[in-house]
Amino acid sequence: MESRNTPSAGGTSEVTPLPECGVLAGFDVDSRRALAAAGEIRTLAAKSYFSTQGKPLDEMAIILSGTFAVSCQARGEIIELAQLGAGEIVGEMSVIDPQNASAYVRVASDEAQLWVLSASRFEAMVERDRTLGFQLLKAISIRLCKRIRRNSDVMLRTAEKNRNVFLDMDY
């Protein structure tokens, strides 16, 4: 695990802010610095898992570098859901609504670096700085809304395709 804290000339440590990309676009430098201090930086090797479907997960992460493959298992078959890169967020549902992980999230690159925030640190951060907490919750909500809209579109297209198959059936 790598630290983002570096000593400054005055002997105190200064926290390096998280990069302004993806989910953190629009966060000012002080907010990104406060987020960095609230969580931790974690480096994962190739093929390592951030989450395992059906297993407890109590942390979220923002991908700082590398690529992750998101998949799930249904009826014995692995279904690839997405490839995620820098700036994307994973595990966000677990800090809002603690449940078992809904998907496998595995490093697909040589290695990957994440900023990780546990559910307890998330709650403490929101309590300590409600403005930053609101800003992070809003960013998470926007990502979740995009995923819901994308999934709804896929479901509607699938329903329409299935409907056409039934209409073409011979009786």
Per-residue pLDDT tens digits for 10-67: 433 589 999 999 999 999 999 999 999 999 999 999 999 999 999 999 999 999 999 9
pLDDT at 163 over 80: no
pLDDT at 4 over 70: no
12, 116 in Cβ contact below 8 A?
no
- From CA 39, how far away is CA 2, in angstroms rounded? 12
Q: Token pair of 73, please?
A: 């298992």
Q: What does residue 4 show for φ and ψ, rounded to 5 degrees?
A: -100, 0
- From CA 88, how far away is CA 90, in angstroms rounded? 7
Q: Token pair of 128, please?
A: 């300590």
